[in-house]
Structure 1
Amino acid sequence: MSKGVRIRSDLVRNGSRLSDSFISLAIAVCRRPFETISSLQRSSTALLKATTGFSEIEPAAGDRRFDDPAWTHNPVYRALMQSHLALAKEVHRLASELDLSPRDEARAHMALSMVADTLAPTNTLVGNPAAIRRTLETGGRNLFEGTRQLAADWRDNGGLPSMVDGSKFGVGRNLAVTPGAVVHRHAMLELIEYKAQTKTVHGTPLFIVPPQINKYYIWDLAPGRSLIEHLVQQGFQVFVVSWFDPGPEQSEWGLHDYVLALEDAMQAVREISRSPQMHVLGACSGGITSAALLAYLQAKGSDWARSLTLLVSLLDIGSIADSSMGLFAHLETLELARTVSGNTGVLQGKDLAKVFAWLRPNELVWNYWVNNYLMGEKPPTFDILYWNSDTTRLPARLHADFIALLETNALTHEGGLSIGELPLQLSNVTCDSYIVAGRTDHITPWDGCYQTRNMLGGESEFVLTSSGHVQSIVTPPGAKKASFMTNAGTHDSPESFEADAKTHEGSWWPHLSTWLAERSDAERRAPAREGSRKHPPLCDAPGTYVLAASEPAAAE
């Protein structure tokens, strides 16, 4: 843990290793031969039905791997598809019949899904009718192009297929183009203030804290898809942090240092805006840091926050235990991760991106494998995917601090986390909170995000979007199929929230704007320029830190 950060050692939890779950599965198969034999018999019957045309099994709704008409009309391909689906179904059924512990069963299902996804016939040239058709149409040029892209990805993308054609985007060119200026620079961050686009602004500014592993412009994607642009147009004076991309020489930066850097930035916001308080908005790990920051300020007696907005952020980190990512967490694997980043000085953002990709291999790995290598197509052009690939690094000390929070779930305990000599208590953060979660989020499960409202003081508004982790943030007005749920009644659990929740069609951004406006001071004349005499503009947005390329760093 970093200097200045203390996490109570008595809170460390244990668990079972992923390898232990495989051993448990193998032992259970041997100990329950009747269930195993029954599963083999069902599998044989299912294969016979598939190969003789009597199977009725169909792909799950939304499974686009088998959209090609050949999977329906060609008897050979239909038999191949149904055989694959039937075997996958039977091995999952067997795992459910072996009396494994709930955690081992969940891990077994996850591992079996990864294996089944990998062995899908669509991932091969012979087993993919669309790829065979493309090969015949192009005379094999698709395979030549696919091989070229495979070699490039092996060299430049860690062996994973590229998700996006990065040549179409540029930060400051068609991303992160909302007008503004860097008004404060710290070794760890740049503070950007955005140019007012209304004659008056709300009297309480907004301060945005992005995740440390990502660049800030998830808030400022292309025009029309920028939350910052939207909030500026709604009359808010918006400030955002742009993190410095650390190297091995910054390996000792920890949570304590990030909290103090944000405190310094907040002081600059107070001076520039002439407002003693501000709305604070954080996402993912930036949300964890924001909550710790506000608890730290409260412990100091500094009441600087008017409200706290948390997007896809887990403060009750123990609730991640049964999620896709949490199933891999064990003291030994966490210690290994801590050792690796400690030896190199940083955790590479691209390495973490690989982990997230393999949590959803169909969508984030094999989909692009087929598109890039078998079909020979370029990766799609999509601003979110470009941002997702434009990662930064985590200092080893901050990485160790986050691992310690995962091991102990310290934020759920009074005094479980201390900054300096000050024990933190989230219930002392009494400003109102606005909490956003995504129903299909595989990284920060929505029911875990819900628990945040029970940890903070003050009134809380919980919003459940219909999207996943990143799409929950990027939901501009006019987004197709977007919706979100709220519940103005009394509720204290995810189940009670959902039971009486009201569904709203469209984006939640206007809902947030209204919520913030209701908690802001009276409107005043918009500032004529960014910054102040004490904090003059240093350069135009997007600044300099965000433009630094995240290259592999070697330990000194």
Structure 2
Amino acid sequence: MSKPRKLARKRNDNSQGENHSETEAPAPHDAALFAHNMARASQLWQEITQRVSLGFMEDPNMRLGHADPMNILESFVRASSSIASDPMLLFKSQLGFWRSHVSLWRETTQMMLGRSETEMTPVTDRRFRDEAWEKSAWHDYMRRGYLINSQWVQDMISHVPGLDQRTARKVEFFAKQFLDAMSPSNFLMTNPEVLQLTLESSGENLVKGLEQMLEDIRRGDGKLRIRMTDDSAFTLGENIACTPGEVVFENDLMQLIQYAPTTPKVAEVPLLIIPAWINKYYVLDLQQKNSYVKWLVDQGYTVFMISWVNPDAELGRKSFEDYLSEGPLTALEVIESITKSKQTNLIGYCLGGTLASITLSYLRYHGEAARVGSVTYLTTMVDFTEAGDLSVFIDEEQLDSLEERMEGKGYLEATDMANTFSMLRANDLIWSFVVNNYLKGQDPFPFDLLYWNSDATRMPARMHSFYLRNMYQKNLLAKPGGIELLDTPVNIAKIQTPTYLLSTKDDHIAPWQSTYAATQIYDGPVTFTLAESGHIAGVVNPPSKQKYGYWSNQELPFRAEKWLSDAQFFPQQSWWEHWHDWQQNYAGKQVAARKPGSKKYPPIESAPGCYARMKA
């Protein structure tokens, strides 16, 4: 472990107490060009404010009278009242706050006089990793003061007495959104790296940044739609979502892709992957080097993939029942016809896993459980008791507001869901791009995962409302018979299908402690594996990268933390291979490789298909 760096700044004997710890800010390289660029930046900013104002006035939330569609104000009023009811808590908190700032001011003064011998902890916050933050006493003060303020606010909120869990979580979440937004790294005059770049380029970075912001606002019809990656770097079917395959069936809601084999023999039992319909399926088929689909095909599996439609207003009345009937239930029939296999193994990702569990419950109720040999759930919740940060968006007021918005168009806009997920990791998925794209004026870097992340989908209003209310708000899926679909009561506790559960330790969408609850629900044999990293990176982790490891434990105690404490860790080893060893028990014998399609279901078009190419 490296020792903390020591900021030892020698005082110049001739300084007479003047501050020589910082070099004077250089003048712009070209004063005339700088003036020209500032004038241009001012014009761009005026146009931006006009377009944003117009977009704000046209926002359906304003027309519907929802000035606070996320119902934030009420939660903060409750928190403020609770804080005021405990003066001693407030006094102690304020006392610690002022002590921290007095100490900071004393250290900053010493630094400005060149006398500082303070040992500083190495910077781990990526927002402040540039050495310019430490070279400037002013910016170092801004950085450390901000961190003190942020910690004080979060500590204060976490100790508010008398708040129910839902209100406390909402206050903590939205307070952090505000704190993230107010970071000095997000502003020109308080970010030394951006300030230096502005002077060196005579303001060219600001002009380009504002031009990019204006373009992003135009793309969002008055709302800021941040470009996270270089979209021109990727083309579906060429260098992303490019594993060879054919669309062998389609209906209103999905296209079914069958991938071409790469081995002479394949496992008898085919695989059906059910992805979430919140995003496109090809997160599991990004590029050849990290494609889960290609890896499966290369291991000798016959792989089928559901590619969900990007619904428009005509599909607004499609229900959750329709997604069950026209999705996995229909796909199973087609697969059985093409492969002549009496069994199929399922893989469900996120919301697709939730649908997979409902599918299995439906089949069991109708005496057809044997049609599925095994099921794999990737970062899937079926018990929504502890739904993580997404739960802050689920209350009656927010759902009413959301349903009113969806009613007008018949669907939820793709950007609405994308913005929600971005807020869960605001520093990484919002503010880092604000700094890079708009303050530095740099083009976003080509990144396959962010290209997929930006390729969001709409969702039918009826289906989405059912999902949010029955799963997140009421948690009815975990209750036997709590939901009825296609005239069938859903009881996932009766599922006896061999199950592999994969969760990720840093998942901000499906917290692993919540997904672990399924181990205590299913009636059949269950294997639980916990991978490093988050909701996407922990899943898309090919063995060749030797990056993220996983934990394994055959015992399934009631408490998730107990499972982890007794688990064995396998560093830099992909869960893919662990899963493959497990899946072989249900793969059947080896048979001749199958070409995509059949006489009854001839290929319609090559993968990824037109549904995946539909843009929101």
Q: Same fold (TM over 0.5)?
A: yes
- After superposition, the C-alpha distances for 1:380-424 in whole angstroms (9 at most, x for unaligned) are 211111011111111111111102222221111111111122111
Aligned twin of 1:108: 171
Q: 1:365 aligned to 430, 436, 441, which one?
A: 430
Any runs of at least 4 consecutive aligned residues in structure 1 with deviations exceeding 6 A, and if so which?
54-61
**Aligned AA for 1:393?**
R
* Deviation at residue 291 of structure 1 after TM alignment: 1.1
Give the 3-state SS of the residue equivalent to 1:260 in structure 2.
Answer: helix
Aligned twin of 1:265: 331
Tell me if the contact between 1:160 and 1:365 (Cα under 8 Å) persists in the aligned partners: no
Aligned twin of 1:7: none
Query: Residue 500 and residue 235 in structure 1: after superposition, are their counterparts in 2 closer, same or farther (change >3 A)?
Result: same
The answer to whether structure 1 residue 312 and structure 2 residue 379 are counterparts is: yes
Tell me if the contact between 1:306 and 1:432 (Cα under 8 Å) persists in the aligned partners: yes
Aligned twin of 2:318: 253
The answer to whether structure 1 residue 130 and structure 2 residue 179 are counterparts is: no
Give the 3-state SS of the residue equivalent to 1:366 in structure 2.
Answer: helix
Distance in 1, matches of 2:588 and 2:156, equals 60
* Deviation at residue 512 of structure 1 after TM alignment: 1.6
Tell me if the contact between 1:465 and 1:483 (Cα under 8 Å) persists in the aligned partners: yes
* Deviation at residue 73 of structure 1 after TM alignment: 2.7
- After superposition, the C-alpha distances for 1:315-362 in whole angstroms (9 at most, x for unaligned) are 102221xx2111332122122212221222001122111011112211
Query: Residue 517 and residue 149 in structure 1: after superposition, are their counterparts in 2 closer, same or farther (change >3 A)?
Result: same
Q: 2:132 aligned to 33, 58, 70, which one?
A: 70
Aligned twin of 2:20: none
- Of stretches 66-75 and 169-178 in structure 1, the one that deviates more from structure 2 is 66-75
**Aligned AA for 1:164?**
T
**Aligned AA for 1:66?**
F
Q: CA RMSD in A?
A: 1.9
Tell me if the contact between 1:433 and 1:453 (Cα under 8 Å) persists in the aligned partners: no
**Aligned AA for 2:514?**
G
* Deviation at residue 107 of structure 1 after TM alignment: 2.9
**Aligned AA for 2:75?**
S
Percent sequence identity is 30
Distance in 2, matches of 1:173 and 1:330, equals 43
**Aligned AA for 2:440?**
M
Aligned twin of 1:459: 525
Give the 3-state SS of the residue equivalent to 2:544 in structure 1.
Answer: coil
* Deviation at residue 102 of structure 1 after TM alignment: 5.4
Q: 1:163 aligned to 223, 228, 231, which one?
A: 228
- Of stretches 247-256 and 131-140 in structure 1, the one that deviates more from structure 2 is 131-140
**Aligned AA for 1:87?**
N
- Say which structure, 1 or 2, has more relative contact order (CA 8 Å, 6+ apart): 1
Aligned twin of 2:214: 151
Aligned twin of 2:19: none
* Deviation at residue 79 of structure 1 after TM alignment: 1.2
* Deviation at residue 257 of structure 1 after TM alignment: 0.6
Query: Residue 159 and residue 198 in structure 1: after superposition, are their counterparts in 2 closer, same or farther (change >3 A)?
Result: same
Tell me if the contact between 1:24 and 1:100 (Cα under 8 Å) persists in the aligned partners: no
Tell me if the contact between 1:197 and 1:235 (Cα under 8 Å) persists in the aligned partners: yes
Distance in 2, matches of 1:223 and 1:28, equals 54
Distance in 2, matches of 1:28 and 1:62, equals 34
Aligned twin of 2:60: none
Written as runs of structure 1 = structure 2, the 5 A alignment for 1:233-312 is: 233-261=298-326, 262-303=328-369, 304-312=371-379
Give the 3-state SS of the residue equivalent to 2:249 in structure 1.
Answer: strand
- After superposition, the C-alpha distances for 1:41-81 in whole angstroms (9 at most, x for unaligned) are 33233222222316979789641111111222321111111
Give the 3-state SS of the residue equivalent to 2:100 in structure 1.
Answer: helix
Distance in 2, matches of 1:41 and 1:471, equals 42
- Of stretches 17-26 and 159-168 in structure 1, the one that deviates more from structure 2 is 17-26
- Of stretches 22-31 and 56-65 in structure 1, the one that deviates more from structure 2 is 56-65
Distance in 2, matches of 1:419 and 1:232, equals 33
Give the 3-state SS of the residue equivalent to 1:319 in structure 2.
Answer: coil
Query: Residue 109 and residue 480 in structure 1: after superposition, are their counterparts in 2 closer, same or farther (change >3 A)?
Result: farther
Count of residue correspondences: 532
Written as runs of structure 1 = structure 2, the 5 A alignment for 1:423-434 is: 423-434=489-500
Distance in 2, matches of 1:271 and 1:337, equals 41
- Of stretches 225-234 and 96-105 in structure 1, the one that deviates more from structure 2 is 96-105
The answer to whether structure 1 residue 384 and structure 2 residue 438 are counterparts is: no
Tell me if the contact between 1:242 and 1:545 (Cα under 8 Å) persists in the aligned partners: yes
Q: 2:272 aligned to 200, 204, 207, which one?
A: 207
- Of stretches 190-199 and 507-516 in structure 1, the one that deviates more from structure 2 is 507-516
* Deviation at residue 232 of structure 1 after TM alignment: 0.3
**Aligned AA for 1:26?**
S
Q: 1:81 aligned to 139, 143, 160, which one?
A: 143
Q: 1:49 aligned to 103, 111, 120, which one?
A: 103
Tell me if the contact between 2:212 and 2:438 (Cα under 8 Å) persists in the aligned partners: yes
Aligned twin of 1:511: 578
Aligned twin of 2:258: 193
Give the 3-state SS of the residue equivalent to 2:389 in structure 1.
Answer: coil
The answer to whether structure 1 residue 25 and structure 2 residue 79 are counterparts is: yes
Query: Residue 48 and residue 446 in structure 1: after superposition, are their counterparts in 2 closer, same or farther (change >3 A)?
Result: same
**Aligned AA for 2:382?**
L
**Aligned AA for 1:548?**
M
* Deviation at residue 30 of structure 1 after TM alignment: 2.0
**Aligned AA for 1:144?**
V
Tell me if the contact between 2:108 and 2:137 (Cα under 8 Å) persists in the aligned partners: no
Distance in 2, matches of 1:180 and 1:205, equals 14
Distance in 2, matches of 1:280 and 1:193, equals 14
**Aligned AA for 2:242?**
V
* Deviation at residue 227 of structure 1 after TM alignment: 0.4
**Aligned AA for 2:181?**
T
**Aligned AA for 2:246?**
A
The answer to whether structure 1 residue 546 and structure 2 residue 612 are counterparts is: yes
Structure 2: give runs of 5+ residues left out of the alignment: 1-69, 110-117
Tell me if the contact between 1:530 and 1:537 (Cα under 8 Å) persists in the aligned partners: yes
**Aligned AA for 1:467?**
S
- Of stretches 17-26 and 336-345 in structure 1, the one that deviates more from structure 2 is 17-26
* Deviation at residue 364 of structure 1 after TM alignment: 1.1
Give the 3-state SS of the residue equivalent to 1:521 in structure 2.
Answer: coil
Structure whose alpha-carbon radius of gyration is higher: 2
Give the 3-state SS of the residue equivalent to 2:226 in structure 1.
Answer: coil
Distance in 2, matches of 1:518 and 1:335, equals 47
Tell me if the contact between 1:58 and 1:82 (Cα under 8 Å) persists in the aligned partners: no
Give the 3-state SS of the residue equivalent to 2:193 in structure 1.
Answer: helix
Tell me if the contact between 1:59 and 1:66 (Cα under 8 Å) persists in the aligned partners: no
- Of stretches 183-192 and 99-108 in structure 1, the one that deviates more from structure 2 is 99-108
